[in-house]
Structure 1
């Protein structure tokens, strides 16, 4: 009987392994390197402490044509550039150098107490979003040396670039008291727009520290803030064990994903606090309506979709319209999962689609490109923050897989 049980468990493990998606490792770095103007510039940056290789951790990503954008937040001093890209049309080098975007000058921190010379600057960004109108939206926190001696060099702002010309289109500074609270921390940006109406774009900015969502309207050049209980963290699910590091976080609303347009032209926004096992939703008809931001009667316009299951805390999420699947990172499970909103959200319908205890340690961000490739960035961030990464090991990876291959054989397939 024991032999049969052991055989059954072995076959089950093998089946589970085979059922998970096979990921292509596109990039892998021990430490990040940058495309310096010349060797003298690099050496000077190292000497002045402006480039400390071990302090550069990639965190967010998105793709536009032959560019894969990657963010490098200024967690510590010595981050060479907070916004960069790696080319996808060059011969693939798994440890490709980062090219600052839009250029080196925009990514250079002013010395002393001086302010940036122009609106065309990026101090520190966590995530970016490419929209259908060939624009790159950046949430610039303006905060440098976050884990050391934090310095607010410029106020939090939405920064928009024209990707065809690599020029700045707009910098919108969030309202100091209305949008930004004392505990605010903006680490994500989701853009709601269609290609046939580029001027009427909205950006949704989750505030993980201040437990709110700020909405920015490009057409009106205005912003407003929503608050709701669902934006807060769950005190029962703030414990994490990732890559051998145990830590506790109180991060609130974090990941947002846009579902397809309904018959009225609005979408469903799926969202979750990072320290939570629940998934929630709200219609963009609510978020786009500035007058509702201060309405105390909108509580029931927000919906609890359900509980994903044990240890399903999620950072980023993205929606694939063709398969109608919400795809979510799984921090405590070293992987990525999916759920089809046509089915109730519970542990039976929530499926792990990728898992690797080494390559997927802290899956920080995911995106789906126009070819329906699912891009995954993992970066061992807990060890970076609470311990120290080993520069002799691969610490940061970017992997990809076709969405249909990833979700095949799971409940996410309608």
Structure 2
């Protein structure tokens, strides 16, 4: 009994030592900054706004804006691409970006209303050149009577002017039968903004698509490591058990190496293993011998049971890879200078209530870690309690997050 008491005391000491993230935003249900109350009433009446179905999943920070995505899971999503003001109230309404007009698209639309229209977004990325990169799936009512309004596309906005700089529609050769692009990460240096590459993970078609801004072209990369692991497709979040076959979901980029290229860290969501490959291979894939290139993808290691992850983000300051832990209600990390073992992948932030299904995380340009939790399994397989807080966003400096852990 005494030995058990010592273990409990040590465990509590470890928890108390950990820095606690700051709660920045929280909502029971999200709403929008409608131009007038009459607009909101009309949207509710005609079904273009069903408040319960507006479910945030992704985020990214730029200066005083925190972008928040609301994909069209179900009918009645008023705006898919939005932001809030960092210095505003914790439960402030979402502001459609770049405008309400560009986001308020009927679920039964048969074509893109305009080139700047936003249909359905899961993930976004802010680059060092003050641009917002948006992966628009083009798909409405994903969980209902799915309507592919337009093909998947990349939208690039100038954050200083809020203008759409470019929109690129992916080619048929970029896609497979079950393709679903949910994530985007951008490889670019602030001194050569025109030479940007975006990496899009296809969780349903098990591949990665590379887009070159300079060439305005894209190509698909295939590998066995992009597939899910059959033994790790089972989840248990807040007592809700479900099974997913999501393949490569998250891609995170290191700082540039000596040769100028970065290391791309990636993993399937339904997996506990982490892999890596040089961005040199991804950028030049069409010119390479595919048999030889196959061996340039490397297994880093295994995190251990129950460590499936929906998103990751790399901090260049600490050289630490942060990633969500959906089955363990929190965030874990790995110092890229250490071997990839379960011992070197500690759970640094966790709480079964506050971090129930941590869906997305991002490290911003000031080395702050942002986290969004949203109770997704309840939304998909059960029911959200609209009288309880369902969506939370936290932040913490990356140094504080890893203090006293093996990631330090």
Query: TM-score, structure 1 length as denominator?
Result: 0.97
Runs of 5+ in structure 2 lacking a partner?
none
Match of 2:378 in 1: 383
Structure 2 counterpart SS, 1:236:
helix
Q: Does 1:188 align with 2:183?
A: yes
Q: Does 1:306 align with 2:301?
A: yes
TM-superposed CA distance for 1:111, in Å, is 6.9
Match of 2:105 in 1: 109
Q: Does 1:174 align with 2:173?
A: no
Q: Does 1:94 align with 2:99?
A: no
Distance 1:112 1:381, change over 3 A: closer
Structure 2 counterpart SS, 1:182:
coil
Structure 2 counterpart SS, 1:10:
helix
Q: Which moved more, 1:352-361 or 1:8-17?
A: 8-17
TM-superposed CA distance for 1:293, in Å, is 6.6
Q: Does 1:138 align with 2:134?
A: yes
Match of 2:222 in 1: 227
TM-superposed CA distance for 1:118, in Å, is 2.0
Match of 1:149 in 2: 145
Structure 2 counterpart SS, 1:46:
helix
Deviation string, structure 1 residues 313-361 (Cα, Å, up to 9, x no partner)? 1111011111110111111110101101211101111111101110000
Match of 2:278 in 1: 283
Mapped contact 2:48–2:106 kept (Cα < 8 A): no
Mapped contact 1:155–1:174 kept (Cα < 8 A): yes
Match of 2:14 in 1: 16
Mapped contact 1:315–1:364 kept (Cα < 8 A): yes
Deviation string, structure 1 residues 5-27 (Cα, Å, up to 9, x no partner)? 23113213202312433011110
Mapped contact 1:19–1:353 kept (Cα < 8 A): no
Mapped contact 2:25–2:394 kept (Cα < 8 A): yes
Tell me how many residue pairs correspond in the alignment. Answer: 408
Mapped contact 2:317–2:367 kept (Cα < 8 A): no
Query: TM-score, structure 2 length as denominator?
Result: 0.98
Mapped contact 2:18–2:404 kept (Cα < 8 A): no
Instruction: State how far apart, in whole Å, the 2-side matches of 1:70 and 1:124 are.
Output: 12
Match of 2:32 in 1: 34
TM-superposed CA distance for 1:119, in Å, is 1.2
Mapped contact 1:315–1:330 kept (Cα < 8 A): yes
Mapped contact 2:255–2:262 kept (Cα < 8 A): yes
Distance 1:84 1:381, change over 3 A: same
Runs of 5+ in structure 1 lacking a partner?
none
Distance 1:390 1:111, change over 3 A: closer
Distance 1:191 1:217, change over 3 A: same
Mapped contact 1:255–1:271 kept (Cα < 8 A): yes
Structure 1 counterpart SS, 2:13:
helix
Instruction: State how far apart, in whole Å, the 1-side matches of 2:405 and 2:339 are.
Output: 14
Structure 1 counterpart SS, 2:321:
strand
TM-superposed CA distance for 1:166, in Å, is 0.5
Match of 1:242 in 2: 237
Match of 2:77 in 1: 79
Q: Which moved more, 1:98-107 or 1:113-122?
A: 113-122
Mapped contact 2:197–2:211 kept (Cα < 8 A): yes
Q: Does 1:197 align with 2:227?
A: no
The equivalences for 1:323-362 within 5 A come to: 323-362=318-357
| Aligned-residue RMSD, C-alpha | 1.2
Match of 2:264 in 1: 269
Mapped contact 2:124–2:133 kept (Cα < 8 A): yes
Instruction: State how far apart, in whole Å, the 2-side matches of 1:152 and 1:18 are.
Output: 49
Deviation string, structure 1 residues 34-79 (Cα, Å, up to 9, x no partner)? 0001000000101111111110110000001110000001000011
Mapped contact 1:287–1:293 kept (Cα < 8 A): no
Structure 2 counterpart SS, 1:45:
helix
